[in-house]
Structure 1
């Protein structure tokens, strides 16, 4: 086979220039003819997929819309300006209204990403299977506290618990009740707590967060049977959940408000946060911040630490404090791993 002749620098430069011109022309080309669009109206984003989104207009009509290239961020829950097509059932999203709240998560490749917008209430879902973990709950609570959005805790799958385990976990959750968190014991299977959960969600935009396998989709189906979300089973071998939701979607609740079901909130890394902010996100630490002997106190074995003194006096729960130290330690490990230089390829 004849070896292909290598392109010259000039040829490569011309190819690159032509490619840039084509890409620019594609970007400058209008999505649709503006004359074929109706007047601007408000709408809410139900879900997004690529350069399109499903929106719901104020009259309840759902439309598949194209997204203007000037819109650089769009997620479920966003309030948008929308123009419907005069010729078909489509339309165009022109702009996004300012968000009153955002739920974000860090991404190793894209930085901090917005998961959902305009949320009023975050429900942290846990369960006895996979194994109950107060540290995982604390991680979600930190992320929720950082947003300033109201947050509650849901212990799902209570039908799987023995009376002994129920008493044990209820005692563990009492710590959170004393800190002012609402705690709901629920079961999508037996319907325990489902009505209470629905009442808490009424007339708000809500989101369920929690690790895979805790039954978030099952709870959504219990609250909204018409949603028909696929439910995942917990692996018998590993005990780990099989995640089932593939795209964020805003679902309307019967009693008003909405529920966002999103795959982007299974896990919350915290490595993008400052340790001082994490400390503030612990409700029981806030009044003590700034009262330590040393300004750079790490709240570990530092002399004159107000937090460890409160711990010794029984004013701070030992498990919560242990979780705090482990979370701070893991954040440092994750930040270090992001700055390890890759070895050059041979």
Structure 2
């Protein structure tokens, strides 16, 4: 199976052009209070901090002694996101609400990314220990969305935890059907939590897995991420909104990612809802590897370019027939490859 490049030459050119345009704009049109206006003699010594939120050309950082300061970002510092560990300098005399300048970022231990048609691979958050993938019985329990997030987690080497929310809204028979699907993921070694913010079921288990970790909740909008954040961290006061009765889809309620400290230790990053998690930037071979139950069979097919569909001598198809790989996950794998192909076609299409 031939490898495909993550980004086409055309995409790479557009990304570089966009980046250079932003730099040029920063040079010719400095924002009021921008980093280039700070004089060196007005800045103190270099300190370490963590980005707890990003607002355009500014970011809120928390210092090692707990101070929260709004800082400008040097134009040489690119792609700064919530969770980044940075080096900054305080202003001796503040300008408005700006109290310093971020000079550089430390090397990331991990990062959550997604593809973007204009900017290539976009980083959402940094230095994450585990990703809690929230799904819900309302508006709909969708295993294919879970598989998309699992691919991202496996690709980045970040521990995933599956969280099924709103279990108070389904009867026992319906929950039993969902449990059969969740058993597939449990069998693969993934941790699964069933929770309800209304009844409190599973909330203690949820709080326990967050301790002493840098965590992020991901999932489609409307699955109750913000409600869960309010439940485990009441002081955060995250806005929530019910699922739309007309569309059945959730409404985006969080617009800026923010890092919150948990009372029991550890941190939680609340990020905007993502209805679709694109994977078109990954090689097909990488997606295949990210289905962890496929790994022991990779390379065993009769033909090197086996598509694992109707190809003769496909060992992965045989594993499905033998019950070693679930039909649900196998079908999800091929649906994801189809959407990836559509995504690449969209990326190649001219933008108007």
- Give the TM-score, by structure 1 length: 0.89
- What does residue 87 of structure 1 align with? 93
Change (3 A) 1:329 1:35: same
1:237 to 219, 242, 246: 246
Q: Does 1:69 align with 2:63?
A: no
Q: Number of residue pairs matched?
A: 324
The answer as to whether partners of 2:53 and 2:81 remain within 8 angstroms in 1 is yes
Partner of 1:161: 170
**Pairing partner for 1:38 from 44, 64, 80:** 44
Q: Once the 2 structures are TM-superposed, how far is the Cα of residue 188 of structure 1 from its aligned partner?
A: 1.4
Match of 2:112 in 1: 103
- Provide the C-alpha distance between the structure 2 equivalents of 1:325 and 1:30, rounded to a whole number of angstroms: 50
Secondary structure of 1:309's match?
helix
Determine if contact 1:288/1:307 at 8 Å carries over to the other structure.
yes
Sort the Cα spacing of 1:131 and 1:47 in 2 relative to 1 into closer, same or farther, 3 A.
same
Residue 223 (structure 1) aligned to one of 204, 223, 232 = 232
Equivalent residue number for residue 197 of structure 2: 188
Deviates more, 1:231-240 or 1:328-337: 328-337
Superimposed CA distance per residue, residues 129-166 of structure 1 (whole angstroms, 9 cap, x where no aligned partner): 01111111111111111111000100000111111111
What is the deviation of 1:55? 0.3
Rounded Cα–Cα distance in structure 2 between residues aligned with 1:73 and 1:137: 27
Indicate the larger mover: 194-203 or 258-267: 258-267
Q: Which of 312, 315, 322 does residue 321 from structure 2 map onto?
A: 312
**Residues 105 and 265 of structure 1 are in contact (CA less than 8 Å); yes or no, is this contact kept in structure 2?**
no
In structure 2, how many angstroms separate the alpha carbons of the residues matched to 1:165 and 1:229?
30
Q: CA deviation at 1:21?
A: 11
Deviation, structure 1 residue 340? 3.5
Q: Compared with structure 1, are the counterparts of its residues 85 and 341 closer, same or farther at alpha carbon in structure 2 (3 Å cutoff)?
A: closer
Matches within 5 A, 1:17-28: 23-24=27-28, 26=30
The CA distance in 1 between the partners of 2:156 and 2:292, in whole Å, is 14
User: Within 1, Cα distance between the matches of 2:240 and 2:126?
Assistant: 24
Q: Displacement of 1:319 after TM fit?
A: 0.6
**Which aligned pairs between 1:1-346 and structure 2 lie closer than 5 A?**
23-24=27-28, 26=30, 30-88=36-94, 90-263=99-272, 265-341=274-350
Contact 2:252 / 2:273 at 8 angstroms: preserved in 1? no
Secondary structure at the counterpart of residue 130 of structure 1: coil
Structure 2: 5+ residue stretches without partners = 1-23
SS in 2 for 1:333: helix
Report the alpha carbon displacement of residue 35 of structure 1 after superposing the two structures with TM: 1.5
For residue 75 of structure 1, report the CA deviation from its aligned partner.
0.3
Pair member with larger Rg:
1
The runs of 5 or more residues in structure 1 that have no matched partner are 1-19
What TM-score do you get using the length of structure 2 for normalisation?
0.88
Query: Residues 287-345 of structure 1: CA distance to partner in whole angstroms, max 9, x if unpaired?
Result: 111111111111111111110010011111011111111111121122123323579xx
Question: 1:47, 1:54 within 8 Å by CA — same for their partners in 2?
Answer: yes
Looking at both structures, which has the greater relative contact order when contacts are Cα pairs under 8 Å and sequence separation is at least 6? 2
- Structure 1 pair 30–108 and aligned structure 2 pair: CA distance change class (3 A): closer
